[in-house]
Amino acid sequence: MLFNTWTFCAFFAVVFALYCLLDHRWQNRLLLGASVLFYGTWNWRFVFLLLATASFDYFVGREIAKAPGSPRSRRWLIGSVVVNLGVLGIFKYFNFFVENAQALGAAFGLSLPSAVLQVVLPVGISFYTFQSMAYTIDIYRGLLLPATSVWSFLLFVSFFPHLVAGPINRPQGLLNQCERERVMTWAGWRSGAFLFLVGLVKKVAIADQMAPIADAVFAHPRDYTGGQALLGVYAFSLQIYADFSGYTDMARGLARIMGFELNENFHQPYLSQSITEFWRRWHISLSSWLRDYLYIPLGGNRKGLSRTYANLIVTMLLGGLWHGASWTFVLWGGLHGLYLVAHKVLLDRRHAPPSALLPVRLLKVFFTFHLVSFTWIFFRADTLHQAFNVIRALRGRFPEGTGTWDPSWNVSVIALGLLALFLLDLPQYLGRSDSAVLTWPLFARAAALFVLVTLLVGTRNTRPEPFIYFQF
């Protein structure tokens, strides 16, 4: 059930109407039931997996809380981490490791037995596993008290707006909201609905319009000239941001309508002036999770320069692998790790403060955007071979340009997409609020809504496109 479908609109309308009628305790049960139904529409069998792992973590959380930091609670924590990563490993990485072990064995003349699992990947498993793990780890660290009710905890893990593609919420925020009585306000309804509309416009009017260009280039890179391949890569850069941040806006908007507040996940990442800044603005919930639960426990920057660089690379490699069991994601993460190390080396060697001149800042934004766009090639490609073919196409190795290319796919379409994204983000950037538009005078607000609704109606396709991050 995709957010950008009429089915979901009907589902939400029913859930929200009932939600308004019930008291807090029954609201949680209703939302849990709705979340199970929402998740079950993809594959009902995995509902049991979701509820089983979440229930296990609830139980472990209670056991750890009896003596946080003790050897006994440590054993419980290790058990929880092993179970969570084990489930993730079986469903997401088992085939990847077996296939690579076989390939490695074959390289040394060994024939390893074939053991490939024929299972589909449960939607959103990476998101809810990380969220659940944060709960037990934080209780162990003494940062959190265990949930008072299993219903609240199950809702915290499975809350349908964020269940399949995040943001990854910390228990200190969302779990508390599940346990406390929530307040719905007119301002919350208004800003939640507006945020949902903005997200929908990002998805339908930008991401879905960019998708055919990127799809064409990445499907048959050898059929496209250097210029066309470059447009394809730019198109994907815009598509993935509009798609993922659009989903997050919709999720946050839906939650806000019901009185919840989910984490911010993006903060105009393509305006970053360095790769370090990019990671403070892109997929904030994942990058902060990796920082707090992986990078800092590995030693962070407290154990010397070389260890800091190694920690950065390991964190980003695992961050890449989190996205999917493929060497393309590993390379994507590795590249970002190298970028971060390179930036840190530069920062450490520079003594003068960074230039505040606008042209210099714009140049940095331009440079950072292109560094990031280059890594998207590996993120988008199905195989390394395909990724390298796209790079070859970018270098003009296939000048014939025999691929199907719609004349409307040109620089102006990319520029329009970029401009639209910039304008959608600008009020938030200037007003420091995701619904700053709603504070504008009446006619300005009406004009903004007119543009959004006109774009939405004008660009809607027959078939709703799924969100890219659903596959993770």
Partner 1 sequence: VFAPRRNLATVRPVRVPWALILALGALLAFDQAVRRLPDHWCDSTVSIPARVAFVRQQLVPQAPHPRVVILGSSRSALNIAAGKVEIAAGLPQGSVLNLSVPGVAAYGIHTMFLAERPRILGARLVLYNVDEFFLTGLDSEFMLEEPLRTQLARPALDQKPRVLLDNLFPYRRRLPWVLTRAEVRLGLRPSLPSLGYRIVDGRLLRLGAEADPDHDVDHLLATIENYYEESRMVPRSAELLQVPGRAAREAGVRFAYVQIPNRPTHKRLVLERHGAGYRTHLARMEAVASAVGAPFYDWSEGFCRMGDDAFVDGVHATLAGAELLSRCVGEWLKTREELRAAR
How far, CA to CA in Å, does 245 sit from each of 49, 188, 190? 27, 20, 19
How far is it, in rounded angstroms, from Cα 114 to Cα 93? 15
By the rule CB under 8 A, 190 interacts with partner 1 = yes
Q: What would the x/- binding string for partner 1 be over residues 170 to 189, using CB under 8 A?
A: -------------xxxx--x
Shortest separation between residue 442's beta carbon and partner 1, angstroms = 6
253 and 192 in contact (C-beta within 8 Å)? yes
Tokens of 203: 């998805």
Segment (H or E) for 455: helix 442-459
Using CB under 8 A, which of the segments 52-60, 312-320, 339-347, 460-468 binds partner 1? 460-468
Choice between 61 and 212, CB closer to partner 1? 212
Which one, of 74, 421, 105, 81, lies nearest residue 239 by Cα? 421
- Closest to 260 measured CA to CA, from 147, 132, 152: 152
Angle of CA points 177, 183, 185, to nearest 5°: 135
323 is a catalytic site residue: yes
Least distance in angstroms from the C-beta of 458 to partner 1: 5
Asked whether position 461 contacts partner 1 by CB under 8 A, the answer is yes
**Which one of the spans 41-49, 240-248, 346-354, 409-417 is the region binding partner 1 (CB under 8 A)?**
409-417
Residue 449 binds partner 1, judged by CB under 8 A:
yes
Smallest distance, partner 1 to C-beta of residue 353, A? 40
CB of 6 to partner 1, least distance (A): 9
| Contact window for partner 1 (CB under 8 A) among 14-22, 41-49, 169-177, 356-364 | 14-22
Query: Which positions ≥6 away from 17 have C-beta within 8 Å?
Result: none
Residue 457 engages partner 1 in binding (rule: CB under 8 A)? yes
Annotated catalytic residue, options 162, 283, 323, 336: 323
Alpha carbon dihedral 196, 279, 126, 63, in 10-degree steps, equals -100
Q: Of these, 23, 113, 351, 352, which contacts partner 1 (CB under 8 A)? A: 23
- Nearest Cα neighbor of 267 from 286, 252, 245, 239 is 245
What is the x/- site pattern for partner 1, positions 205-224, by CB under 8 A?
--------------xx--x-
Q: How far is the CB of 245 from partner 1 (least distance, A)?
A: 23
Question: From CA 75, how far away is CA 71, in angstroms rounded?
Answer: 6
Q: How far is the CB of 190 from partner 1 (least distance, A)?
A: 8
Task: Please list, in sequence order, all residues whose beta carbon lies within 8 angstroms of the beta carbon of residue 446, skipping any fewer than 6 positions away.
Answer: none
Nearest-angstrom CA–CA distance, 349 and 381: 35
Q: Which residues lie near partner 1 (CB under 8 A)? A: 20-23, 26, 183-186, 189-190, 219-220, 223, 225, 399-402, 404, 406-408, 410-412, 442-443, 445-450, 452-454, 457-458, 460-462
Could you list the active site residues?
323
